[in-house]
Amino acid sequence: MNLHDTHFHLDLCSDITKMVAQIEREKIYTIAVTNLPDLFHHTKNFIRNTKYIRPSLGFHPELAASHIGQLGKFIALAREAKYIGEIGLDNFKKQSDDYQSQKKIFQAILECCAIHGGKVLSIHSRRAEAEVIAMVGKNYPGSPILHWYSGSIKNLEQALDNGFLFSINYAMTQSTNGKSIVKALPLAHILLESDGPFTRLGDEEGWPGHAKAVVEQIASIKGLSVSEVSTNLIINFKKLVS
């Protein structure tokens, strides 16, 4: 089974060297997201000799207010980064000034990436789904992916109409809301993610190898064969990165 992971925090793993070797051995195409611009080159240098891992330039919304001074660095680095993430908005128990800082940074990132074009964006949208979808808009000149989406079906449908993709992790396939989201998504708009190490499967820290279990869960939820789901999702991923 060909596997991929569009959202994995490699730099936050307990043993990065071991994890890199494991991903390469298992031949899992992996996008290593980062949470701040300062971490991009660190990750890029760490995986420079790998075949299956690519670095992603990120600015996590929950770090926006405290690190707004790094926006200039993000914009400077955006030219060299094909993959952008983790970025977005988070309005879960946030103060108004914090959220406004997030929106300022997210808007600047969207404008910068639109100028360059062709970027793959992994977007956080907790309790801010409608605003994220509206800010990205329709026919964005890149590939926006809603990572671990947890919003309404109405907003999901708007995102689909706008051309968004959705990355699904194992935890999503275990919740009632997550299952509803998977059911509502056309197979052509689904990608895989682990969001490791923030997720777990049993006693194991989340990592790209859990993609096989996610494929199996998606197949079960949608009443399709594992083979059909696996084949379609690798096609989606290849289109994304081509």
Predicted pLDDT of residue 130: 98
Q: How many residues does the chain have?
A: 242
Maximum distance among all Cα pairs of the chain, rounded to whole angstroms: 48
84 forms beta bridges with 57, 121
Residue 240 CB contacts under 8 Å (≥ 6 apart), including other chains: 6, 120, 143, 145, 165, 191
Does the model's pTM come out above 0.85? yes
For 4-241, CATH gives 3.20.20.140
Please enumerate, by residue number, every residue annotated as part of a binding site. 7, 9, 86, 124, 147, 195
Tens of pLDDT, residues 137-181: 999 999 999 999 999 999 999 999 999 999 999 999 999 999 999
Please enumerate, by residue number, every residue annotated as part of a binding site for a divalent metal cation. 7, 9, 86, 124, 147, 195
167 forms beta bridges with 147, 191
E-assigned strand segments in the chain: 4-8, 29-32, 53-57, 83-88, 119-124, 142-147, 165-168, 190-192, 200-201, 204-205
- Residues in the chain where the model's pLDDT stays below 50: none
Give me the residue spans of the domains in the chain: 4-241
Q: Report angle CA 180, 241, 86 to the nearest 5 degrees.
A: 60
Based on the number of CB atoms within 10 Å of its own CB, is 141 exposed (0-12), middle (13-18) or buried (19 or more)?
exposed
Helices (H) and strands (E) in the chain, counts: 9, 10
Tens of pLDDT, residues 102-126: 999 999 999 999 999 999 999 999 9
Predicted pLDDT of residue 11: 97
